[in-house]
Amino acid sequence: MTLSLYSDEHYMREALKQARYALEEEEIPIGAVVVMDRQIIARAYNQTEKLRDVTAHAEMLALTAAANHLGNKYLQDCTLYVTVEPCVMCAGASFWAQLKRVVYGAPEDKRGYRRYGNLLHPRTELATGIMALECAALMQEFFARKRK
């Protein structure tokens, strides 16, 4: 099996690279990329510790960077790839951005938005479970290190 250049797996692999940067910096390892017309227009990883700012989640930083890139706050032709199920805050931001698609890797049963219902925009398509094991493994590695 070859990995398609424009598959969800391809872009999730890029989000995972971002998540690994977070892990290296002792941040909760979540990464995100925003894709439009097959091009990655924004990349970000969680920086809540570094920036001492609870709003500095990977998704928030990526959405802001994508909007800056496009000069448009609406991201209706964009897909957000993120390694872990977004929280309520990030789902809310995705709603306002009116994203075309949200694709996440690992579920997050405790802090993920889905337990509160569908908080995404009605027009936003959702795909889940893309490279979920790899995405979850990074989180497990982080919390295992923390417990030591």
What are the catalytic residues? 59
DSSP class of 100: S
Task: Please say whether the beta carbons of 114 and 102 come within 8 A.
Answer: no
The tokens for 135 are: 């995405």
Answer yes or no whether residue 63 interacts with a second copy by CB under 8 A.
Answer: yes
* Other CB atoms within 10 A of residue 41 CB: 18
Least distance (Å) between residue 96 CB and a second copy: 4
Answer yes or no whether residue 48 interacts with a second copy by CB under 8 A.
Answer: yes
Alpha helices in the chain (DSSP H): 8-24, 58-70, 88-97, 132-147
Least distance (Å) between residue 14 CB and a second copy: 22
Answer yes or no whether residue 16 interacts with a second copy by CB under 8 A.
Answer: no
Per-residue contact flags (x/-) with a second copy for residues 93 to 132, judged by CB under 8 A = x-xxx------------------xx-x-------------
